[in-house]
Amino acid sequence: MIASPPHLDRLQYVGEGLGVAGAILVALPSAALRALGFAVWIGANTAWIVYGQKTENRHISRLFSFYLVTAVLGLVWAAGIVS
């Protein structure tokens, strides 16, 4: 395994932690917590996009860019911004 610089490790920990937290929140029955879960996923996806950019991994950047769009749409629907 190739060691990555500490600042990139931190991005991965942030992306991973927020991703798991968002998944838990989205699975809960409360609409407010579900909306919060999508907001948390926005942070997670952003961290992974930055990680992908810094490591020049276009696959990660593209995948999490798509996830970012779906998280924004989820937040819009879950928060009742659009009905």
Q: Which domain holds residue 61?
A: 31-83
Q: What does DSSP assign to residue 15?
A: H
Q: For residue 10, is it within any domain?
A: no
pLDDT in tens, 27-66: 999 999 999 999 999 999 999 999 999 999 999 999 999 9
Contact indicator for 15, 6 with CB cutoff of 8 Å: no
Q: For residue 18, is it within any domain?
A: no
pTM score: 0.91
Q: What domain count does the chain have?
A: 1
Q: For residue 49, is it within any domain?
A: yes
CA–CA separation, 2 vs 34, rounded Å?
A: 37
Q: For residue 6, is it within any domain?
A: no
Q: For residue 13, is it within any domain?
A: no
pLDDT in tens, 41-51: 999 999 999 99
Q: For residue 72, is it within any domain?
A: yes
Q: For residue 23, is it within any domain?
A: no
Q: What is the pLDDT of residue 1?
A: 56
